[in-house]
Chain A
């Protein structure tokens, strides 16, 4: 134990405070080097943009997930909420360009509302967020399937700009994700409410003793998570051209991986959204590398699991309960 403390003291402060970020950057570097060895096209700007574009959906959900995890909770309703919002988007727009604006706003509002309900249940019932959002996820999946059992509706042709559009050569959706991420990072750092999220996640009982309003903080983080899910739902509709009732199912657990890779502690109170964005990028980069190396798609999951295990067992910083 004392050896570990000693080793930590020798690290410069900026590295000690951003160990998670440094870790994910090192992994990105390692994957890039491996890619450069594997193929000369890997390190091209076009391939970079490609990977960047493929990061969008995972980055969007994970940003919201980061906030709930920072506050000491978790949101397991994201997958179902993505499915629901994407089905509603294409089902309600139904190829009518006039409805696009209204439906997009309504869907984003629905996402926030679901988040508020999650937070409200956590506070009112005093049940762990894991259980509340798990139940909410099951219920939302049921609602989605009541609405439609298969792909539903259509979106106007221009809608796919969100997924495939380029602004000055940069992918539009991915740029939005990055901007959202930077905005949230700034708010987390400079807004009192942002600091309070960390305080609550770090030590809930101290947070209560100093008079932080838990309800308000939880409404904010789960609302933000719901908003991100709705945005992901919109993005997926733009990509596939249609909403599908099971389109989000894999995102529930997948959204947690980038958060953890980015150095956010699953127990809350430490981390940030920039790390999450890099974590999502790392996963896309890894899949891209395996594609270049002609590795079967099936091994991508193995590689992903190995990276998770590596990452989480290297930067252990959980407080010992004993």
Chain B
């Protein structure tokens, strides 16, 4: 019993074997898939490894990666956030509802983040205080946001994205997109929070073993609510970046990101059962999705096949990890 309790929390594992090769491989092994995919891409189409294409790849990577990190936090506490795509579109609509000049950027961020916090709180409170299943709670907020957005825009949003957001979303600084720099900043901060802080350990314990969490005196509800709020806020940031990248806004900016972010997390070894996952994993998963989409496009394969490949990848990845969990006795 005690072995199970410790084995299922990151805390226990870190204390037992600080830096063994196996533990290192377990935690960081999945990142090896990236050079493999990149190498495969280079062999299949030379255009893939050109500097221009790689930096474009980074440009598309950032929004998905940012959403996936939030999704990972929610999944670690045994949740799921289906409202992220709706949140992204809402943030994008907010970006265009001001005058469209740079002096409004602060206001845009403030209003959008405020709504993000409110929606995150609603999700978290429904899940913790009313014990609504996360799937359902976030589905309801997704529909709610969608309804308000439609009502507000009367179907077709108009207005301009401020130049500063467009720089953030689409421009590059010496070949490195600004949004990738922003992603780096966010990822660094979140990685430290999740893997190196007391709060992060609590997140992993709450997800890994709620009973242990309660025995430790951790206030699980607060931790879970915080995860939902962080996820919504990250979706807001991703939505603003994406609105800058696209340049014009409709009601469906970010459509599909809720499922893509879940796929990214599953591919990146964030457990659907909760308790296990890392920021690096979410980033790796998002990178896999973006690279595969890009390669499929460059190969001239019909875009429809992309969907079939995506479907196969998610099932196969989940199956591989499920098998490993069973053999390692978890």
Please report A residues at the B interface, Cβ cutoff 8 Å: 74, 121, 125-128, 130-132, 134-143, 145-146, 253, 256-257, 260, 266-267, 296-306, 308-309, 312-313, 316, 318, 320-322
B143–A304 touching, CB < 8 Å: yes
Task: From known contacts A296-B151, A301-B144, A316-B131, infer whether A132 and B139 are also in contact, taking CB-CB under 8 Å.
Answer: no
Q: Chain B residues near A320: list those with CB within 8 A.
A: 131
Contact among A126, A127, A298 with B150 in the assembled complex (CB-CB below 8 Å): A298
Q: Chain A residues near B126: list those with CB within 8 A.
A: 309, 312-313
> With the chains together, A303 CA to B266 CA distance in Å?
33
Please report B residues at the A interface, Cβ cutoff 8 Å: 82, 126, 130-133, 135-137, 139-144, 146-148, 150-151, 154-155, 210-211, 214, 220, 259, 262-263, 266, 272, 302-315, 318-319, 322-323, 326
Residue of B nearest to A126 (CB): B322
A306–B144 touching, CB < 8 Å: yes
> With the chains together, A264 CA to B326 CA distance in Å?
31
Q: Chain B residues near A305: list those with CB within 8 A.
A: 140-141, 143-144, 147
Q: Chain B residues near A143: list those with CB within 8 A.
A: 304, 308
A301–B312 touching, CB < 8 Å: no
Can you offer 16 A-B residue contacts whose CB atoms are under 8 A? A125-B322, A126-B323, A135-B311, A135-B314, A140-B311, A141-B307, A142-B304, A142-B305, A142-B309, A145-B304, A256-B136, A267-B133, A301-B150, A302-B147, A308-B136, A312-B126
Contact among A127, A134, A146, A298 with B263 in the assembled complex (CB-CB below 8 Å): A134
A126–B139 touching, CB < 8 Å: no
Which 7 residue pairs of A and B lie closest in terms of their CB atoms, listed nearest first? A301-B147, A142-B307, A139-B311, A138-B311, A302-B147, A298-B150, A305-B144
A298–B314 touching, CB < 8 Å: no
A298–B308 touching, CB < 8 Å: no
Most buried by B among A125, A297, A303: A125
B149 CB to closest chain A CB, in angstroms? 8
Interface SS of B by simple majority: helix
Q: Chain A residues near B272: list those with CB within 8 A.
A: 128, 130-131
B321 CB to closest chain A CB, in angstroms? 9
> With the chains together, A145 CA to B306 CA distance in Å?
11
Q: Chain B residues near A266: list those with CB within 8 A.
A: 133, 135-136
Residue of B nearest to A266 (CB): B133
A139–B144 touching, CB < 8 Å: no
Residue of A nearest to B80 (CB): A130
Contact among B82, B136, B210 with A312 in the assembled complex (CB-CB below 8 Å): B136
B266–A131 touching, CB < 8 Å: yes
B118 CB to closest chain A CB, in angstroms? 14
B210–A322 touching, CB < 8 Å: yes
B136–A300 touching, CB < 8 Å: no
> With the chains together, A257 CA to B307 CA distance in Å?
26
Q: Chain A residues near B214: list those with CB within 8 A.
A: 322
Given contacts A126-B319, A142-B304, A299-B151, 15 further A-B contacts (CB under 8 A): A125-B318, A127-B318, A128-B272, A131-B318, A132-B315, A134-B263, A135-B314, A139-B311, A256-B139, A266-B136, A302-B148, A304-B147, A305-B143, A309-B144, A318-B131
Task: From known contacts A127-B318, A318-B131, infer whether A137 and B147 are also in contact, taking CB-CB under 8 Å.
Answer: no
> With the chains together, A309 CA to B137 CA distance in Å?
7
A79 CB to closest chain B CB, in angstroms? 11
Task: From known contacts A132-B315, A138-B307, infer whether A299 and B147 are also in contact, taking CB-CB under 8 Å.
Answer: yes
A137–B139 touching, CB < 8 Å: no
A139–B312 touching, CB < 8 Å: yes
A114 CB to closest chain B CB, in angstroms? 12
Residue of B nearest to A147 (CB): B304
> With the chains together, A139 CA to B312 CA distance in Å?
7
A263 CB to closest chain B CB, in angstroms? 13
Residue of A nearest to B145 (CB): A305
> With the chains together, A322 CA to B306 CA distance in Å?
42
Residue of B nearest to A318 (CB): B131
Q: Chain A residues near B147: list those with CB within 8 A.
A: 298-305
> With the chains together, A126 CA to B315 CA distance in Å?
10
> With the chains together, A298 CA to B143 CA distance in Å?
11
Q: Chain A residues near B220: list those with CB within 8 A.
A: 322
A142–B308 touching, CB < 8 Å: yes
Most buried by A among B142, B263, B311: B311
B317 CB to closest chain A CB, in angstroms? 9
> With the chains together, A301 CA to B307 CA distance in Å?
28
